[in-house]
């Protein structure tokens, strides 16, 4: 095992010089244009090795992806042993290590870190890693592998796969042979686990109409193809946007983020989606899911993360009652400020709902406080967590009627079809299909659970987004001082108005969200608030949000 000051680290580090750029491990790890990421990947390789040593040789995951970003971007994030996001205190260490300007600086920062974090370098270190389909992936993986070599990691290459499969693998590897075993530690193990549970959940039910699946021309296409084989005729899927090898196609006018932000059907689907048919879109690394359908008048209707949460939470509550467990198992929902006000109302009338700041780690942690925690971001990222004691209760409970027994079995199978490590578009898709099948819902009935309030999201480019600080789960601005009062003054003028402003964690912009009872009012409110934000930063009048110059 090489020491930190060994020549190996030095020589390899010299091969991966840091460009003159400030990096930050943000909400989704490091993410930026791929051409500047080489040194970051090398250093992340070392950091992953150290994280594993710190955790006594448990396997850490590394995923190379930039999700829904354009093809020229890439990124990397670490996965902790239970398949969850990296512990937040290490995000800062990742940032510090990535910004050391020379090899000497880097080794010095590394030595200090190893000392202060009390990492025993003699411990083993294990990492499993994967990448999405971006053309920049292989070179970045090579840099990552140099990092592994530098610190002596026992590294396992999971190849090209989705982010949620990588999370699954991490948990499966670390629980192998234990009572908490998460499944076989291979891609096949993942497909088998999900498809078997799905088949049990829909046993004896009618085969649904084919589902049109937009794979965003990304890694989800491969995974969906494989999953579809395991499902056979239990779920007919029509795969589209599967052009993984076509330059520039990834996330281009397709995929979950396109659907959510433009609130439109991807043009490539316009001749494919038939009235009454269900469609859905994955994002570039298959951890987000957007459903949609065409209503009776042929109008595009989006069924986003909020609609998925409403559908799924209500179904689970029903099963818990059906199993006779409502006194013992409390179901709760976690959302962010971006959740449509109508969804929050629908859910809060039925069960506890909590609002947390944007970003999966916040939702995931909050959901862990419920016996069954359903969390979804409006953008389609989400999952359901069953607490260990709830899973135990489900396996021990003695139902007193055949109906209770059926509901109990459904709940147990749900714990298997759901990827509880992280939001997983393919797993969520199966979950949605199960509920639609059990309820005999088409998209129309699902959509009518509640009616979305019209809403608008606007980006504002500002000189320094760090002056924007929020409280109350990002629903109120505390800085710049006085701006919140002005926003509230505007909001009061709109019926059903709601608006909030927060700095993005992934882009150099400030985001403005607004909703109101009527579409033109939601738009107007969004642009008015954007104008306020813009004025506050003293920008050039020529680039003030256009609608209100
Ligand atoms: C990242 C987050 C996502 C969040 C989004 C917000 C993870 C894995 N992903 O993609 O949850 O919705 O950032 O982006 O945490 P924003 O801060 O730019 O609005
Ligand atoms: Mg993603």
Neighbours of ion ligand 2 (CB under 5 A): 67, 283, 285, 287
Is 358 touching ligand 1 by the criterion CB < 6 Å? yes
For 254, other C-beta atoms within 10 Å of its C-beta total 27
| Of the candidates 238, 303, 262, the residue with the CA atom closest to the CA atom of residue 451 | 303
Q: Tell me: domain 455-543, CATH 3.30.310.50, correct?
A: yes
| Distance separating alpha carbons of residues 76 and 40, to the nearest angstrom | 9
End-to-end Cα spacing for the chain: 63
| Topology given in CATH for the domain delimited by 305-447 | Alpha-D-Glucose-1,6-Bisphosphate; Chain A, domain 3 (3.40.120)
DSSP 408: H
Look at the alpha carbons of 463, 466, 471, 475 in this order and tell me if their dihedral is positive or negative.
Answer: positive
Query: What pLDDT, on the 0 to 100 scale, is given for residue 3?
Result: 61
Residue 528 and residue 544 in contact, taking contact as beta carbons nearer than 8 Å: no
DSSP 373: E
Q: How far is the CA of 386 from the centre of ligand 2 (A)?
A: 23
Is 163 touching ligand 1 by the criterion CB < 6 Å? no
Are 6-160 and 455-543 in the same CATH fold? no
Say whether 442 is catalytic.
no
Query: What pLDDT, on the 0 to 100 scale, is given for residue 6?
Result: 74
Q: How far is the CA of 121 from the centre of ligand 2 (A)?
A: 33
CA angle 145, 150, 152 (to 5 degrees): 90
Q: How far is the CA of 234 from the centre of ligand 1 (A)?
A: 33
Report the nearest atom of ligand 1 relative to the CA of 287.
Answer: 8
* Ligand 1 pocket, mutate which of 78, 500, 506, 512 (most atoms under 8 A from CB): 506
What DSSP string describes 33-100?
EGGG-HHHHHHHHHHHHHHHHHTTT-EEEEEE--TTS-TTEEEEEEE-TTS-BPPHHHHHHHHHHHH-
- Assign domain 188-300 to its CATH superfamily: Alpha-D-Glucose-1,6-Bisphosphate, subunit A, domain 3 (3.40.120.10)
Q: Which CATH number fits domain 6-160: 3.10.310.30, 3.40.120.10, 3.40.1350.10, 2.60.40.10?
A: 3.40.120.10
| Distance separating alpha carbons of residues 306 and 74, to the nearest angstrom | 28
| Of the candidates 188, 138, 185, the residue with the CA atom closest to the CA atom of residue 160 | 138
pLDDT tens digits in sequence order for the chain, 549 residues long: 446 767 899 999 999 999 999 999 998 999 999 999 999 999 999 999 999 999 999 999 999 999 999 999 999 999 999 999 999 999 999 999 999 999 999 999 999 999 999 999 999 999 999 999 999 999 999 999 999 999 999 999 999 999 999 999 999 999 999 999 999 999 999 999 999 999 999 999 999 999 999 999 999 999 999 999 999 999 999 999 999 999 999 999 999 999 999 999 999 999 999 999 999 999 999 999 999 999 989 999 999 999 999 999 999 999 999 999 999 999 999 999 999 999 999 999 999 999 999 999 999 999 999 999 999 999 999 999 999 999 999 999 999 999 999 999 999 999 999 999 999 999 999 999 999 999 999 999 999 999 999 999 999 988 889 999 999 999 999 999 999 999 999 999 999 999 999 999 888 899 999 999 999 999 999 999 999 999 888 666 666 766 543
- Give the ligand at the shortest distance from the Cα of 255: 2
User: Where do the structural domains in the chain lie, given as residue ranges?
Assistant: 6-160, 188-300, 305-447, 455-543
Q: Which of 13, 39, 52, 67 is catalytic?
A: 67
Q: Which strand ranges, in their side-by-side order, compose the sheet holding 278-282?
A: 237-240, 211-214, 278-282, 289-294, 300-303
Tokens in use for 422?
């992280």
Q: How far is the CA of 515 from the centre of ligand 1 (A)?
A: 20
Q: How far is the CA of 28 from the centre of ligand 2 (A)?
A: 9
Report the nearest atom of ligand 1 relative to the CA of 379.
Answer: 12
- C-alpha distances out from residue 458 to 254, 506, 509, 512, Å: 20, 15, 10, 5
- Give the ligand at the shortest distance from the Cα of 290: 2
Helix 425-439 × helix 305-322 angle, to 10°: 60
- Measuring from atom 11 of ligand 1, which residue has the nearest CA? 359
Q: How far is the CA of 361 from the centre of ligand 1 (A)?
A: 10
The three-class DSSP label of residue 215 is coil
- Give the ligand at the shortest distance from the Cα of 285: 2
| Of the candidates 207, 203, 217, 287, the residue with the CA atom closest to the CA atom of residue 249 | 217
| Distance separating alpha carbons of residues 265 and 224, to the nearest angstrom | 20
Enumerate residues 6+ apart whose C-beta is below 8 A from 294.
Answer: 273, 274, 275, 276, 277, 300, 301
The three-class DSSP label of residue 26 is strand
Residue 222 and residue 160 in contact, taking contact as beta carbons nearer than 8 Å: yes
Helix 7-14 × helix 137-151 angle, to 10°: 160
* Ligand 1 pocket, mutate which of 73, 132, 360 (most atoms under 8 A from CB): 360
* Ligand 1 pocket, mutate which of 334, 359, 419, 473 (most atoms under 8 A from CB): 359
| Distance separating alpha carbons of residues 376 and 381, to the nearest angstrom | 6
Is 65 touching ligand 1 by the criterion CB < 6 Å? no
- Give the ligand at the shortest distance from the Cα of 421: 1
| Distance separating alpha carbons of residues 540 and 549, to the nearest angstrom | 11
| Distance separating alpha carbons of residues 182 and 361, to the nearest angstrom | 20
Tokens in use for 526?
């969004």
CA 68 to centroid of chain Cα atoms: 10
């Amino acid at each position: 095992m090489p020491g930190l000051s060994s020549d190996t680290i030095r020589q390899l580090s010299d091969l991966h010089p840091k460009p003159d750029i400030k990096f930050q491990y943000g909400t989704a790890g490091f993410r930026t244009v791929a051409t500047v990421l080489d040194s970051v990947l090398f250093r992340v390789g070392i950091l992953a090795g150290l994280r594993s040593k710190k955790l006594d040789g448990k396997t850490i995951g590394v995923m190379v992806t930039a999700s829904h970003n354009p093809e020229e971007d890439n990124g990397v994030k670490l996965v902790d042993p239970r398949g969850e996001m990296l512990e937040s205190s290490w995000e800062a260490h990742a940032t510090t290590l990535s910004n050391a300007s020379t090899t000497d600086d880097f080794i010095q920062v590394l030595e200090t870190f190893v000392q202060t974090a009390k990492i025993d370098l003699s411990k083993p270190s294990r990492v499993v890693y994967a990448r999405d389909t971006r053309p920049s992936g292989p070179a970045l993986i090579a840099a990552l592998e140099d990092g592994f070599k530098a610190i002596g990691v026992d590294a396992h290459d999971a190849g090209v796969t989705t982010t949620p499969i990588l999370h699954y693998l991490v948990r499966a590897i670390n629980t192998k042979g234990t009572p908490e075993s998460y499944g076989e530690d291979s891609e096949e193990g993942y497909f088998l686990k999900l498809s078997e549970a799905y088949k049990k959940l829909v046993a004896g039910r009618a085969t649904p109409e084919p589902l049109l699946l937009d794979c965003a021309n990304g890694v989800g296409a491969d995974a969906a193809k494989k999953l579809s084989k395991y499902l056979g005729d239990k779920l007919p899927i029509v795969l589209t946007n599967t052009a993984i090898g076509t330059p520039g196609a990834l996330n281009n006018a397709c995929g979950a983020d396109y659907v959510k932000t433009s609130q439109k059907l991807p043009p490539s689907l316009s001749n494919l989606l038939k009235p009454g048919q269900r469609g859905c879109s994955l994002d570039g690394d298959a951890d987000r899911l957007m459903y949609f359908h065409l209503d009776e008048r042929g109008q595009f209707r989006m069924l986003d993360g909020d609609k998925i949460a409403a559908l799924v939470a209500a179904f689970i509550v029903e099963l818990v009652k059906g199993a006779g467990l409502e006194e013992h198992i409390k179901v709760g929902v976690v959302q962010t400020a971006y959740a449509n006000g109508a969804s929050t109302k629908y859910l809060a009338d039925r069960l506890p709902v909590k609002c947390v700041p944007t970003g999966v780690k916040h939702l995931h942690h909050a959901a862990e406080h419920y016996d069954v925690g359903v969390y979804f971001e409006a953008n389609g990222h989400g999952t359901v967590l069953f607490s260990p004691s709830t899973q135990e209760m489900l396996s021990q409970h003695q139902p007193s009627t055949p109906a209770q027994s059926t509901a109990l079995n459904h709940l147990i199978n749900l714990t298997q079809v759901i990827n509880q490590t992280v939001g997983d578009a393919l797993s969520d898709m199966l979950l949605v299909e199960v509920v639609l099948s059990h309820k005999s819902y088409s998209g129309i009935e699902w959509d009518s659970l509640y009616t979305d309030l019209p809403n608008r999201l606007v980006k504002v480019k500002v000189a320094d987004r760090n002056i924007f600080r929020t409280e109350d789960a990002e629903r109120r601005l505390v800085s710049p001082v006085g701006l919140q009062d002005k926003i509230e003054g505007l909001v009061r003028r709109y019926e059903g108005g709601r608006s909030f402003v927060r700095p993005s964690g992934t882009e150099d912009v400030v985001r403005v969200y607004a909703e109101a009872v009527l579409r033109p009012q939601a738009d107007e409110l969004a642009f008015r608030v954007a104008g306020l934000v813009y004025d506050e930063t003293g920008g050039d009048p020529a680039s003030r949000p256009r609608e209100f110059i």
